Structure 1
Amino acid sequence: MNVTGQSAVFGRRKEPHTVIIARGDEIRHFTIRPWVAAFCGSALAAIVIGYLLATSYLVLRDDLIGATTARQARMQQAYEDRISALRAQVDRITSRQLLDQQLMETKVSELLERQSQLSQRHGRLGPILDRAESEVGTPPAAGTAAAAKPDQRAEAAQPQAYTVASLGSGLGTSSGTGDSRPFSLWSTRSDPLPSDTAADRADKLFVSINESLKAIESQQLTRIATLADNAYKNADAISQALEAAGLPVDSDFGDERDIGGPLIPVDSSMIFDSKVRELDEALDALDHLKKEARRLPLANPASGRSVTSPFGVRTDPILGTAALHSGMDFRAAIGVPAKVTAPGVVVKAGWNGGYGRMVEIDHGQGFTTRFAHLSEIGVRVGQKLDAGDVIGKTGNSGRSTGPHLHYEVRHNGEAIDPLRFLTVGKKVAQFL
């Protein structure tokens, strides 16, 4: 071995390690310096650490891959759930949109059908209302607003109905996959939809127009009922006036109260038909009574002229004894037109003893009228006359003390007080 040397500055010097290998007679030795040993140790430690790390990676790799895969799966599932939720919301919104469209189309169809029904009703009501107004007259002023002509209100309602139809078609889908309303109302959102949507506003409009159409229908029915009631009242007034005067009246239109049967609900169209039929029956009754009344001599033959001698027993103007006056005398100067009091046929026209120049008219049902003491006769036997026609002029012919018009009413040849007819004529004049 080498003798270890000493340093005066650093003290004793550390010698390197020597490795001796003996093999038989052969001896080998190596000198290992410190830095080589440190390097070798470091390399060995690095190899060991690398090995351990590689081993750990190989062992934990499957766990890391599994964790990453699971995390990706969870993220994918979350995305799929979100997409499914959005699709479900879109489906709900689309379903609501289609339902709104169907409801709008249904409501528009109902409104147009009701509008068409109102138009058809107006076509039926036009002639009968004209007839009713000519026969019955205008309803009382209190019902004027409610009884305005239905066609005016129907025309006023038509633009609204067509507006709704246009709105309904505009809100509907043209391609079957979308809606023309703003997308913001139908966008996929998690918060609730606005409460006042376009469909809600359209629904309110439908309700308003539906109520308007119902009001029109109600006003039509009210007007029909009012006219029918007035027709029956007029018919009753004519009938009662004729019966009170003892005049014959052929009327089978009394109140039928002995009625009955099961209760069967009806729809609006049946109610309307029933009201129209009732009005038609009332107008028929009124028209029948009017015809009956017009055939009777109810008019005044010398309107505005005073009565100088009534019907009945009186003192004869020539003999001064009691005598029956079979008619009424009206004060009239010579030449005043004498008018027929009801339609009829001339059966006598000429000189007739004490009557002087006389015209007798047959009105049917056994009723006749006589116009006597005429100065002129303007008709001939067999001539048909209407009420108000002039048959001659007043005078002083025959057994008379002065110019006047002698007027008689006879039934089956028997003289009747003309005042009964004139009184009835005044009562029913407004109905005829």
Structure 2
Amino acid sequence: MNVTGQSAVFGRRKEPHTIIIARGNEIRHFTIRPWLVAFIGSALAAIAIGYLLATSYLVLRDDLIGATTARQARMQQAYEDRISALRAQVDRITSRQLLDQQLMETKVSELLERQTQLSQRHGRLGPILERAESEVGTAPAAADAAAKPDEHADVTGSISQPGTYSVASLAANPSSGDTRPFSLWSTRSDPLPSDSAADRADRLFVSINQSLKAIETEQLTRVATLADNAYKSADAITQALQAAGLPVDSDFGKSDAGGPLIPVDGSMIFDSKVKELDEALDALDDLKKEARKLPLANPAPGHSVTSPFGVRTDPILGTAALHSGMDFRAPIGMAAKVTAPGVVVKAGWNGGYGRMVEVDHGNGFATRYGHLSEIDVTVGQKLAAGDVIGKTGSSGRSTGPHLHYEVRHNGEAVDPLRFLTVGKKVEQYL
């Protein structure tokens, strides 16, 4: 019985958990299986873990979103700062380019204005320089360089050179990447590797400006030299005439002037220099015209004087007598030429003069040509210096063929040698 009892106890089957619900007369029971308990526990554990995870997500989500937003804000701010810096850099580059372009345009305008001014001056100087060189003579060689344009500038044309751009093209595209104009033009200074186009253009403008300034200086020097030569020529003529006692404008070269000191610019200096040259040439021209009216030429060049002016022994009577002119040895038939322009007032036989021609030169001066063998002019005929009035001979009171030449001032005979001496001195100026 004990064995049976042990066996019954030891081998008794384990009964599952049962839930009994009694309600009045109704009794209900539920059997709970182990797997169901495990499933329910797992479900509850999953729900608890899910709840905890959801709660943690909801708690941490705001922090995550805030951190992401802050990171994005920082990145956006960094990008905006970078964009602002790039914009500022672009603005600086653009502003510099605009300033460089404006500066270049200003310099080009100044150069073109100076070039136009020099071209206009060249046009003005052309006729007056030709006149000056014809009346005064060629200026020194150093001054002649003003007529030759510099290697970077042409006075009468555009500032350009074969194979290069003109100055105007630099203004049109001053910041272009094509640096060929600068490398071709800047022959006086080697460009540095770090030089920009603006730097090379600046050196180019300096070089061209120096060239134009040199041309302007040479023009002024040439004008001043020619004016000085004109005054020197006029002074030489005046001194020669005054030394011979011949009439000359006593006020030549003198001026009474005054007034406040007012600074002038380059154009006014040039105008004043040109005006001074023009006045000097006018004065020299007037002086030459007056000198050319005087009988300063030799009536018989290359022929010796046989009898001077003054008291001499009369060749026929052998007594002392006044010789009112000069006798030049000349063969019969040689052309006798008038020594200054004038009008014939006498042409015919005149006592001891034989065949004689008298020419009035104005201002009280007259010349006589005696002992002619032939007269080729008539009274009232106008003559130029060097015109033939007749042929030499031995008519009248004469001992042999020669030319008797007289110079008279207001009817009185004066020594022709004074005029001949002055004529030799001023011949190179006339």
TM over 0.5: yes
Distance 1:352 1:368, change over 3 A: same
TM-score, normalised to structure 1's length?
Answer: 0.83
1:397 aligns with 2:395: yes
Question: Corresponding residue for 1:241?
Answer: 240
Contact 2:143 2:221 in 1 (8 A): no
Report the alpha carbon displacement of residue 199 of structure 1 after superposing the two structures with TM: 2.8
1:336 aligns with 2:337: no
Which shifted more, 263-272 or 105-114? 105-114
Question: Corresponding residue for 1:200?
Answer: 199
The gaps in structure 1 that reach 5 residues or longer are: 6-14, 172-178, 183-193
The gaps in structure 2 that reach 5 residues or longer are: 1-5, 179-192
Aligned-partner Cα distance in 2 for 1:220–1:239: 28
Contact 1:371 1:408 in 2 (8 A): yes
Report the alpha carbon displacement of residue 385 of structure 1 after superposing the two structures with TM: 0.6
Report the alpha carbon displacement of residue 19 of structure 1 after superposing the two structures with TM: 6.9
Specify which of 159, 166, 170 is matched with residue 169 of structure 2. Answer: 166
Q: Deviations over 1:190-249 (max 9, x none)?
A: xxxx95222333333222222222222222211111111111111111001100111011
Partner SS for 2:380:
coil
Aligned-partner Cα distance in 2 for 1:418–1:17: 181
Q: Deviations over 1:57-102 (max 9, x none)?
A: 1111101100000101111111111112212222222222222222
Equivalent pairs, count: 403
Q: What pairs up with 1:261-340 in 2 under 5 angstroms?
A: 261-340=259-338
Distance 1:131 1:239, change over 3 A: same
Distance 1:17 1:207, change over 3 A: farther
Question: Corresponding residue for 1:137?
Answer: 137
TM-score, normalised to structure 2's length?
Answer: 0.84
Q: What pairs up with 1:112-151 in 2 under 5 angstroms?
A: 112-146=112-146
Contact 2:146 2:215 in 1 (8 A): no
Question: Corresponding residue for 1:187?
Answer: none
Partner SS for 1:342:
coil
Identical-pair percentage: 80
Report the alpha carbon displacement of residue 261 of structure 1 after superposing the two structures with TM: 3.0
The code of the aligned residue for 2:361 comes to H
Contact 2:149 2:215 in 1 (8 A): no
Distance 1:323 1:93, change over 3 A: same
Question: Corresponding residue for 2:416?
Answer: 418
Partner SS for 1:380:
coil
Q: Deviations over 1:24-47 (max 9, x none)?
A: 9x9x998997x9988877666554
Contact 2:159 2:167 in 1 (8 A): no
Aligned-partner Cα distance in 2 for 1:157–1:352: 71
Question: Corresponding residue for 2:216?
Answer: 217
Q: Deviations over 1:304-340 (max 9, x none)?
A: 1111111112222222222221111111111111111
Aligned-partner Cα distance in 1 for 2:129–2:336: 37
Question: Corresponding residue for 1:229?
Answer: 228
1:349 aligns with 2:347: yes
Report the alpha carbon displacement of residue 122 of structure 1 after superposing the two structures with TM: 2.4
Question: Corresponding residue for 1:185?
Answer: none
Aligned-partner Cα distance in 1 for 2:148–2:426: 27
Question: Corresponding residue for 2:3?
Answer: none
Question: Corresponding residue for 2:361?
Answer: 363
Question: Corresponding residue for 1:154?
Answer: 155
Partner SS for 1:145:
helix
Contact 1:371 1:407 in 2 (8 A): yes
Contact 2:372 2:394 in 1 (8 A): yes
